[in-house]
A and B are shown apart, each in its own frame.
Chain A
Amino acid sequence: MTLSYFPRLLCISLATFFLVHLALGMGVALIARQATRLGERLRPHVAARCMLALRLLPAAGAAFIVVAVCLPSYLCLEPEAPTERVGFGCLLVALLGTALWSVSIARGLRAAAGSRHFLRGCERAGRPARLPGEHADAWIVDSAAPLLAISGIVRPRLLVSRSVVSALSAEQLAAALRHERAHWTARDNLKRLFILLTPGILPFAGGSRTLECAWKKFAEWAADDRAVAGDAHRACALAAALVRVARITAAAGDTDRLAARVDRLLRESPPTPAPQPMLALSGILLLAASLAVAILQPSALYSVHVALEHLVE
């Protein structure tokens, strides 16, 4: 098939994205289980960041290669020939790349629409009220569901069902609300959106589940630590709140995970939150910038261009 200059660029970018994503994804899938086990030994917020970084690595790495390597190489070295033949293999891989993105964007949009729908339902079923110790109104929802959650990406909305308000003591409710505020501070809903919008580590396979579950677990532990702030009484209150909320309905969640959280909270020295260093982010940015500078050398660009020519053929 013959394609003109920019459609060819799009085709090459999608194909490169797919191939790099596949290679990185296979590497991540190989180390995912060991990484989650290693995460148990780290502080929860560090472990959560590691799991998130690993989950996003294939897509982020592939996007980086496309933007920092393929685009400059193609734009600098590809002659502006009106049309050129693109091989079937390249087209097929580009189509797979398109499908990969389409699936994840559809998943992200479905999650956003579902959340909006859910939020509307909560608004219809409740009314805003100020809970003790809170600076903003929470939505008290008339429902038997064990709902105590924070929703939203830009504006936080605290959702609490009446059954939860009546089941918890003031101390337990305060601990549970601190836990939800910790989720907001950590921007966990935004991270959730990133996870949903990013293609899975192995294209069209369920290989991301291990890392996503581990991220959820460590994010919950990190929020627990932040809510408790090293205070044993608060830890007890939060543990009691968890069990009470789990009791409200027969339909609840993973018992082992709940037991692990309660045991963490009740141990001899209650968990303390750690400072949030910007060191890791700075390191990643520095590494990306160094790689980009190295790759933008003329000889490197030329090698990449040769590789792209092979891909097109």
Chain B
Amino acid sequence: MIQDTLGHLELKVMEILWAHGESNVHDVVQRLGRPLAYTTVMTTLDRLFKKDLLVRRKWERAFLYAPRWTRLEWEQKRAGDFVAGFLASPQASGDLLISSLVDAVGQYDTALLDELERKIRTKRRELGRRGKT
């Protein structure tokens, strides 16, 4: 799951990478528009890499970082995670003005789902036989 909350600096760094593509730490420091220590930016890029938002490759003893997702993809995935999280929250069970096919809170018993599927298959076969006769 993509980490959906980004700090101010993390978001700024992501925006630089989305705008300029693959960059090293030095490039990002220069494009930030405010004086920040090289190590601070390096730590931020490393954190974003660990959050699975960046890919990196080594080039001449330094890492080059690039976004793993386009901005649109990232926003869509973030929203998708939000939807999944919201549906799994207790509020979804009662206090939402939506009518769902199945409830989205709790836990289903896999064995019982298997049993229900077996019943459905039996019923299908029965209907098939009736159709033929």
A contact set with B: CB distance below 8 Å: 107, 110-112, 114-115, 117-118, 121-122, 124-126, 141-153, 159, 161, 176, 179-180, 183-184, 188-189, 192-193, 196, 212, 219, 223, 232-233, 236, 239-243, 245-247, 249-255, 257-259, 262-263, 266
Contacts of B106 in A (CB 8 A): 251-255
On whether the beta carbons of B120 and A124 are closer than 8 Å, the reply is no
Q: How far in angstroms is the closest Cβ of chain B from A274?
A: 19
How far is the CB of B83 from the nearest CB of chain A, in Å? 4
CB distance from B14 to the nearest CB of A (A): 17
- B60 at the binding interface (Cβ < 8 Å): no
What is the CA–CA distance of A112 and B91 in the complex, to the nearest angstrom? 12
Bound-state CA distance A180–B99 (Å) is 7
Question: Contact at B127–A212, with CB atoms within 8 Å?
Answer: no
* Given A144-B80, A232-B123, A253-B105: 19 more A-B contacts, CB < 8 Å: A110-B95, A111-B95, A114-B96, A121-B79, A124-B79, A145-B88, A147-B83, A148-B100, A149-B98, A161-B83, A193-B97, A233-B127, A239-B120, A243-B117, A245-B102, A249-B84, A252-B105, A252-B108, A253-B93
- Expressed in whole angstroms, the minimum distance between the Cβ of A162 and any Cβ of chain B is 9
Q: Which residues of B contact A (CB under 8 A)?
A: 75-84, 86-88, 91-109, 112-113, 116-117, 119-120, 123-124, 127
> Complex formed: what's the CA distance from A124 to B79 in Å?
6
**Closest chain B residue, CB of each to CB of A183:** B99
B129 to chain A, nearest CB (A): 12
Contact of B97 among A111, A232, A249 (CB under 8 A): A111
Knowing A125-B82, A232-B127, the reply to whether A253 touches B103 (Cβ < 8 A) is: yes
Task: Assess whether A236 is in contact with B108, with CB atoms less than 8 Å apart.
Answer: no
Q: Complex: how many Å from CA A64 to CA B116?
A: 47
Distance (Å) between the CB of B128 and the closest chain A CB? 10
**Contact between A151 and B116, CB atoms less than 8 A apart:** no
Q: Which residues of A contact B86 (CB under 8 A)?
A: 117-118, 121
A-B contact pairs, 29 of them (CB 8 A): A107-B95, A111-B95, A114-B95, A115-B97, A118-B92, A121-B83, A145-B104, A147-B87, A149-B100, A149-B101, A150-B99, A180-B99, A189-B99, A219-B99, A232-B123, A232-B127, A233-B127, A236-B123, A236-B127, A239-B116, A243-B116, A245-B102, A249-B84, A249-B104, A252-B102, A252-B103, A252-B106, A258-B116, A266-B123
Q: Provided the pairs A233-B127, A255-B108, A258-B108 are in contact, do residues A125 and B101 lie with their beta carbons within 8 angstroms?
A: no
* Closest beta carbon of chain B to A290's beta carbon, Å: 34
Contact call B75/A189, Cβ cutoff below 8 A: no
A146 vs B107: C-alpha distance in the bound complex, in angstroms? 13
CA distance A258 to B83 in the complex (A): 22
Considering only CB atoms, which chain A residue lies closest to B100 in the complex? A149
Which listed residue, A146, A176, A188, A259, touches B112 by the CB 8 Å rule?
Answer: A259
A179 to B76, CA, bound (A): 28
Q: Is B95 touching A142 in the complex (CB atoms < 8 A)?
A: no
